[in-house]
Amino acid sequence: MANQKTGLVSGTNSLDLGLRVNLNQVISPMVSMGIRTLVARNQTNMTQSTSLLGGSSLITALSAIPFENMGENPYSWRDDYNDDSYTWRVIPQGYFDFNFTPWLKANVTAGMDYVNKERYRWMGKNIEKGALENARAGHSWMQTMMYNVSADVTFTKQFGTHWLQVIAGGELFGDDGIKLSNYASGFAIQTLKAKAINFASRAANP
């Protein structure tokens, strides 16, 4: 799956890529297994947010009349601001089904949700906050992981006209993550908008 969109404001766009893999396999009359995996990639080049309409600050600025009341030229947010975001997401899941007898069955399922996101921002000197610092560059990074493992055993038996079903099981789950954010000032060169923000962030936190 691939989906590319251009926003209403010049310079804004997004790209979504996705790959899904499903596999179901009968190993024996008693055992079957399956794997389901989703891999997704998202890229955005927006202003102030990841919305296709742009951020509320940009929409407010471009719709303000007269511009002088804003304290800065609203088009500076379009031309002197950059906000690139890159996200990877991987969601694998696997299971085993065991059919020991017609009345005794078991299932084991394990899954994970992994997200890695990086965001690069740059404010030029024509934006008030950027002007105060001779342009500002920043880099933020987030990595999270959630996992889940469950197992259960099901006993189902008919006694005459009555049925008895007993289910016993357990679940193990958890999550972990890390977030980092750095910025640096004094990087007023336009080419920093796309390529050197990462360097700027490391300069702020060597």
The full DSSP string for the chain is -EEEEE-SSTT-EEEEEEEEEEEEEE-SSSEEEEEEEEEEEEEEEESSSSSTT--HHHHHHHT-SSGGGGSS-THHHHHSEEEEEEEEEEEEEEEEEEEEETTEEEEEEEEEEEEEEEEEEEE-TTSHHHHHTTSEEEEEEEEEEEEEEEEEEEEEEEETTEEEEEEEEEEEEEEEEEEEEEEEE----GGGGTTTHHHHHHHH--
pTM score > 0.85 for this model?
Answer: no
Q: Which residue has the higher pLDDT, 194 or 163?
A: 163
| 3 pLDDT tier (thresholds 50, 70, 90) | confident
In the predicted model, is pLDDT for residue 47 greater than 70?
no
Give me the percent of the chain exceeding a pLDDT of 90.
41
pLDDT in tens, 63-103: 554 444 445 666 777 777 777 888 999 999 999 999 999 99
